[in-house]
A and B are shown apart, each in its own frame.
Chain A
Amino acid sequence: MAQVRNSGANLPAIEKSTAPGDAPIDDLPRLLQAAQNGDQSAWNDIVDRFSGLLWATCRAFRLSPSDAGDVCQLTWLRLLEHLDSIRDPARLPGWLVTTCRRECLVLLRRNRRQQPVDDDRLLHLLGSDQPGADQAAADVPLLIADRDAGLWQAFTRLSERCQQILHLLVVIPESGPPSYQLAAQALGLPTGSLGPTRGRCLAQLRDLLDAEGISSSLSDS
């Protein structure tokens, strides 16, 4: 946010901020165009479609519900600011998560402004050996089924990075490369690293479950 950028209503940010190859999502072009023409119901549909993605991105950064709400709102206001400059609807999801991630980092930096840090250090600060991790571990889903209790325990023992990645991947609806791409954008990671990392995280999770004597298979549930 701090760097000087070109101003004006036709920012190229939408075109720059995403990698190519996002799968087009059915009627997104129509919705986007209608919203650009002032159609409130089209805007509502876009909000309904991507709110979960933005919420998950915020929660992957361990923002409190209140902070996550603020960041989501700011992200939607940003989209509103740049709505007319979006030329390629397929890039909208990537633009949203990139914008959301940036606002998450701004908020975290502001919350910790007595201790200025760069983004990498911030991510490290969010790691499992930090005080914040206790709060994160206590953030248990309210309606967790009994059979998931062991899985939840194991999940909270994963590294922060693994938890972030798995959190995001479960909520991004598309399967295949685009979901990796979105999750990578949300976390600021190279897309290519995400598939292998997902595998390693799941392997770690399985080890933790095995160590607890809990089956990692679905067949017994």
Chain B
Amino acid sequence: MRDDDELFQRLTEMLSPQHEPPVMVTELAKQCFALRTIDAELAELTADSYIEGTAAAVRRGAQVDIPRLLTFETPGLLVELEVGGSGRRRRILGELVPTGPASIELRQPGVSDSGPINADDGRFVIEVSGSGPFSLTCRRPGRAAVVTEWTSLD
């Protein structure tokens, strides 16, 4: 209908400018290309207590203090994480299943690599500053690297 087209055109002129994403958002998206990993196996997030455990947390009335539990999986590896702290200071306690020697690297957009952390018995602790998405790279001798799916720290 012609009237519809005219009205829609006016809407477009009015609404379009507010749909321009901020330059910073576009710039960050471009920069994240450097975070691409090749030949790594992706461990998908299969459990997140922030999403599943909400009712229990509320009943206990202290959900802020309850660490977040995350599980990432590939067919050959389970990565269990407990994320504690808040704001810009977090601590990630991790465990690999099956256990075994590994080195762990933390990746965050806009944060320089802090170097690998040894997880001799499959357990590790990582201090995290900043918020936003994170991913861990797990390297085990004789196996393909595993990266955890990008997940928001918040």
Contact = CB atoms under 8 A, between A and B. Distances in A.
For the residues of A in contact with B, the DSSP-based class is helix
A113 B57 contact: yes
A77 B35 contact: yes
A4 B115 CA distance: 31
A2 B11 contact: no
A113 B8 CA distance: 37
A6 B149 CA distance: 13
Interface string B11-28: 111111111111011101
Contacts of A218: 6, 9-10
Interface residues of B, number: 61
Given A81-B42, A148-B10, 13 more contacts: A35-B33, A51-B21, A65-B22, A73-B109, A76-B29, A109-B51, A113-B54, A115-B58, A116-B54, A155-B14, A202-B7, A216-B7, A218-B9
Contacts of A198: 4, 8
20 contacts: A6-B44, A7-B42, A7-B44, A8-B42, A8-B74, A44-B30, A56-B19, A70-B152, A72-B21, A73-B28, A77-B35, A83-B36, A151-B14, A166-B11, A198-B4, A198-B8, A199-B4, A205-B7, A206-B3, A217-B6
For the residues of B in contact with A, the DSSP-based class is helix
A71 to B, nearest CB: 9
